Structure 1
Amino acid sequence: MVRSLWTAATGMNAQQTNVDTIANNLANVNTVGYKTQVAQFKSLLYQTLQTATTTANGDPKPTSSQVGLGVRNSSINSIFTQGSFLASNGDASFAIEGEGFFAIQGSDGNTYYTRNGDFTWATNGRNGGLILTNQDGLPVLSTTGRTITLNNNYVTSRITITNDGTICYPDANNNPQSLNMTIGMYQFNNPGGLVRKGSTLWETSPASGEALNEATNRNLTRSKMVQGYLEGSNVQVADEMVNLIIAQRAYEMNSKAITTTDEMMQTANNLKR
């Protein structure tokens, strides 16, 4: 009977993690570039009560007797489906149509990746001029892995971006001309292996593989960049509410198993009376 107490307790712990994951999805339903997460489960060890032997008549038993010891969370997977496009009034707002990621230089000097294209042109500190950054002030990188900087002669509201990320500025005849700088877009063999670093940033890992530069890798299907839009969260509220109800019911059932086991133990203890 005690075994069932611990087994049901593992179920409650696993469903609590499931509810935490769903709550995080719902909390980020309006977060630009957020990708929904799904909790996965796996069974714990099985205890063998009786191995495959023979019956009293000498006939072999086809199966052994094993009892499970509960469940645990095996992983929390990110789902990288395309989010809906949201119109934005920002001059440096970009949405990616495809599988690409923007590259961001972190404060520690490492490169991180994001689908959040809510950028802004900021002053470049002591060096003067302008630099393209995300909302946290971290520089956006080009296809060559460098920060995207302009001098003070440019008006940010007149800067345009082509579908491949090329930065353009109008000439005297108001025709957009390339500034020989392109916003970098990168892909991964296994995006699910990326490690979340917060603020919709991801870091590469051995599971994700190295970042593949779309500008130099001809085997990739190029992503398209759309100026004036942002990619919204891909969280499906209706699905998350259904999953929340299922997780709640599973939690209640495991709680009921603990209550039932406690009542059975109490009955056994009262047999001597």
Structure 2
Amino acid sequence: MPNSLYIGAAGMVAQQLSIDTIANNIANINTPGYKKARVSFRDVYYGGLERAGLSPQSDVQAYAGMGTVAIPLGKAFDQGQLKKTDASSDLAISGDGFVEVVLPDGSSGYVRSPVLQANRDGMLATSDGYVLHQQIAVPSEASALQIDATGRVSASLAGESTATELGQIELVRFINPSGLTPLGENLYGASDKAGDPLRGKPGDEGFGTLLQGYSEGSNVQLNDEMINMTITQHIFNLCAKVFQAGDDMESTVNSLFR
């Protein structure tokens, strides 16, 4: 069977994964805190070809590739646009870092732009119900919850003339955030590829600061994604033509023996 069939098929499979990735990025362009996914390509196995007139033992040899494969590169954690919402529950990170939360199985999850509120147990949690790693309790009579740039959480309590400090939000960062495992709901899980979590207060060296009343938008650039989609579709069509040419050659060869 002609190698062009395998090469064309491999190219179409790889480009289809790229198209799916781009489509998912575009679909999440309005998702707060969404980070665009990336795909790269690499060539695959090369086979040796014997040239006419040369013995198999000759050092002079030609090689032919067998197509390409798509390699997911994880997420790109470029800063998304910070949008002012004036909602005290909205929290954004300006710079590097994640807010750490506790998942139902007891493991840690990491989120970029959480919406915070007190859950039914009085603990500060995300709108999806994930309690912050710092276990900050919010009294039932608390009002006007305030979070400053360094992560200090305070609130006004009945009978108190000044705000009462409730706790401290810390941030977590990774050497290679692209290696984090996407869990959905804009949550990420740790992985060996991401490296060990590094913890610190917002504003410390290497860590971003917190912005209450802001939300981080998606970092997807529509123009870039549309250009990439157009290029990928053209390459997919070319791979399909390569496959069709290989199939026509195979049909021609088979007809010679009829």
Query: Is TM > 0.5 for Structure 1 vs Structure 2?
Result: yes
Q: How many Å separate the matches in 1 of 2:201 and 2:127?
A: 25
Q: How many Å separate the matches in 2 of 1:214 and 1:34?
A: 23
Q: Which amino acid aligns with 2:62?
A: S
Residue 184 (structure 1) aligned with residue 170 (structure 2)? yes
2:67 alignment counterpart: 70
Structure 2: runs of 5 or more not aligned: none
Q: CA RMSD in A?
A: 2.6
What's the TM-score once normalised by structure 2's chain length?
Answer: 0.90
Q: Which amino acid aligns with 1:238?
A: N
Deviation digits for residues 63-114 of structure 1, max 9, x if unmatched? 6300011111223331110000122243211110110100011011111111
8 A contact 2:76–2:178 mirrored in 1: yes
Does the C-alpha gap of structure 1 residues 257 and 54 become closer, same or farther in structure 2, counting only changes over 3 Å? closer
1:148 alignment counterpart: 136
| Range 244-253 or range 188-197, more displaced | 188-197
Residue 4 (structure 1) aligned with residue 1 (structure 2)? no
| Range 113-122 or range 240-249, more displaced | 113-122
8 A contact 2:31–2:218 mirrored in 1: yes
1:127 alignment counterpart: none
Q: 1:227 aligns with which of 196, 200, 212?
A: 212
8 A contact 1:92–1:121 mirrored in 2: no
8 A contact 1:46–1:68 mirrored in 2: yes
Q: How many Å separate the matches in 1 of 2:109 and 2:160?
A: 38
2:38 alignment counterpart: 38
Does the C-alpha gap of structure 1 residues 170 and 119 become closer, same or farther in structure 2, counting only changes over 3 Å? closer
Deviation digits for residues 239-263 of structure 1, max 9, x if unmatched? 0011111110111001001111122
**Helix, strand or coil: the match of 1:150?**
coil
8 A contact 2:203–2:209 mirrored in 1: no
What's the TM-score once normalised by structure 1's chain length?
Answer: 0.85
Does the C-alpha gap of structure 1 residues 174 and 244 become closer, same or farther in structure 2, counting only changes over 3 Å? farther
Q: How many Å separate the matches in 2 of 1:153 and 1:269?
A: 84
Q: Which amino acid aligns with 1:132?
A: L
Q: Which amino acid aligns with 1:240?
A: E
Q: How many Å separate the matches in 1 of 2:53 and 2:212?
A: 73
User: Sequence identity, in percent?
Assistant: 31
Count residues with an aligned counterpart. 255
Measured after TM superposition, the shift of residue 131 of structure 1 is 1.9
Measured after TM superposition, the shift of residue 175 of structure 1 is 4.7
Does the C-alpha gap of structure 1 residues 123 and 272 become closer, same or farther in structure 2, counting only changes over 3 Å? closer
Structure 2 matches for 1:250-269, cutoff 5 A? 250-269=235-254
Q: How many Å separate the matches in 2 of 1:239 and 1:217?
A: 32
